[in-house]
Structure 1
Amino acid sequence: MGIRVTSEIKPLKKVLLHKPGEEIENLTPEYLERLLFDDIPFLEVAQKEHDAFAEILRNNGVEVVYLHELAAEVIADPQIKEQFINQFIDEAGVKSEAVRKDVYNYLMSFKTNEELVRKTMAGINKNELPAIEKKSLIDFVDDEYPFVTDPMPNLYFTRDPFASIGNGISLNKMYSVTRNRETIYADYIFKYHKEYKDTARLYNRDYDFHIEGGDILNLNEKTLAIGISQRTEAQAIEKIAERIFFETEGNQIETILAFNIPNSRAYMHLDTVFTQVDYDKFTIHPQIEGPLEIFELTKGEKGQVNLVQETMTLQEILSKHLKCDVKLIRCGGGDYVISQREQWNDGSNTLCIKPGEVVVYSRNYVTNKVLEEYGVKIHVMPSSELSRGRGGPRCMSMPLVRED
């Protein structure tokens, strides 16, 4: 029951996924930037690729659960359902009272809760609602924009809205308004779902500073790594440290390593530039080797977090805290052109399902060959369309349980 994740590599037992749906087909070229996409995936193929991903996991003993199914189970309670719909409308920014009423009635009209949840994810087009007589200024604003509520195409990257840390979670305040709405589903699951409602929250979506799950790596039961990146602020890491060291029980974390990585889309999250594939092996983007600015946060006295600044290479800091000689496996084998190409398609972003065994994208064939040369077993998934969202197998998965 609940969350238990103290490692990036221990055998994966249960994972949360989101199969992309109609929200992908609500992407249009003029609104790609608003919705944080670079391209429009072909949904039919993307869904087949995602099914292949889920099947690889199931064939290797992993229980797969889906975000929309957990959310639908929560809103089986009529009171929670009404609360959810009203909160969804608020967070979608629907201002007009007439439109709010129509959206509410529309969502209440769905025959199943799974269909309702899927529709909130897909976005509501204006042509799905009855024609509304414009009565106030707000009814005329954004008249040309096609959606009453925006689609959430990034949802299939389940790594980001919340992150499993030990037996707790960081329920994240996302970098952009577009993605911050995604965390409503986890909010309800961790408030009301019978399996997850007692899970400790190490961070909450209404805190002041943004943080995303792709920046959070459980190196082992005692060491947590978090990236200070384009999408995670230093103040959020300090807040998590205070919660872990002084305000919650049951975790074993003694050190939090804050990696200061470039603030750019190319280094969007820490897990886009390195992921762990075995006890002593990591895939990396060659340009992240360092030396890096790293901050070690530990528990101090009188409720204070101790902070030590260091400048070390990635290999040095990982070897120090994992207490072994870490090997770094360069994306593209270190070749500049190949690494740049395969890094664009998340060649360094792998999902480890057990030590030395990972799921990878088929299109990163050079990096995949190098992994095999290092003795890593790979499970290759199709990736022509899913990769257009700029995220790899780790990005598309949120472990809920790993073996101790």
Structure 2
Amino acid sequence: MFRSRLSRRAVAFGAIALAIGAIGGLPSMASAEDVIRIGAPLPITGPLAPEAIKQKQGYDLWAAQANKAGGISVGGKKYRVEIVYVDYQSNTPRAVQATEQLITQDHVNFLFGAFGSGAAKAASTVSERYKVPTLAATASSSQVYDQGYKYLFGTFTPNDTLTTPLTKIVKAQAPDVKKVAILARNDLFPLAIAQEMEKSAKANGIEVVFFDKYAIGTLDHSATLSQIKSLSPQWIFITGYTNDLLLARKQMVDQQIKAPVVTMIAGPAYQEFIDALGPSAENVSSAAWWHPAEQYDGKDIFGKTSEFVKLFREKYNSEPDYGQASAALCGALFQLAIEQAGSIDRDKVRDALAKMDVVTFFGPVKFGANGQINSLDPPVFQIQSGKPVVVFPQAIKQGDLKLGVN
């Protein structure tokens, strides 16, 4: 089997984190009928491992809180939560296999989607076939939700909800920005958001002087960055995952490539990005689907946004970012849907998700007819003095966009 020993199984009971490495897993602390099992295919090893760690943190925090409260209420009975993890090693075909395994061999009740838009879309063909409600924590591309599926739901708004406000901010605060260069990882989400950036730029009168893709696993961007430098764009926009963007930013510094506006999605949302780059992260802008500065009074298990942030800090000794928060939200939404349905019947829980209209610690949650959330205004932010500072929306604005990078 492709499943690594590292990630064969993780079980979340109460605040106790059981080891992932035991072959065959460990015996449950409750009988099977008292447990709700949620499958979580994740790229725990391979280049996407940093992102997988974040999702796992969010899932585990929710499970710990749910079990600390006695479990999920289902028709007057409490069910404890068990999360079953499978490592698909940052390989999309293996994500599909992992999803099938979780359904047919591990007999999970529900599913968290695979990481990212590409793997989530591929794996959803399996969960849809078996009619297993699936909440995708990190899939924003509209191509994930254009399949007419009934059992797939996602907690990220479409990509243009990030690029449109970002472009409007740049146009308003940096009117001399006339040219943008766009470089995208050739993967569903990074490429889709780059394409939305291209549309947003053109719609706002900004010339796209460069648009190119780099292959997954690229270890050197220097030649492409040199080409971008020769075009003298006032805005450089690069998409990818954490390791991709760290490499690109370091090579920009090596070549002394500067521009009034440098945007990277989605690495700057992560503290690891800031820590790894130090001063080179300064003034890099980005956008994400959530920020700790938000202030919602939710009806979910976490309640206020500040309470979620507090619990996360206590458990992980760090500030939560949008990936961890979205993963925790997926667990909280399953809990709300199950309790509202009064059942763990998959169709009843699916219907409860489809009808959901609730305020959570993450923000208001309502799914469109295609299963994608359509009720949020994602924050735009910039690294300033070593911290992400929100510049949009106005309700949680912490500062204005600054021009120039080190």
Give your verdict on TM over 0.5.
Answer: no
What's the TM-score, normalizing by structure 1? Answer: 0.30
Q: Which has the higher contact order (CA 8 A, sep 6+)?
A: 1
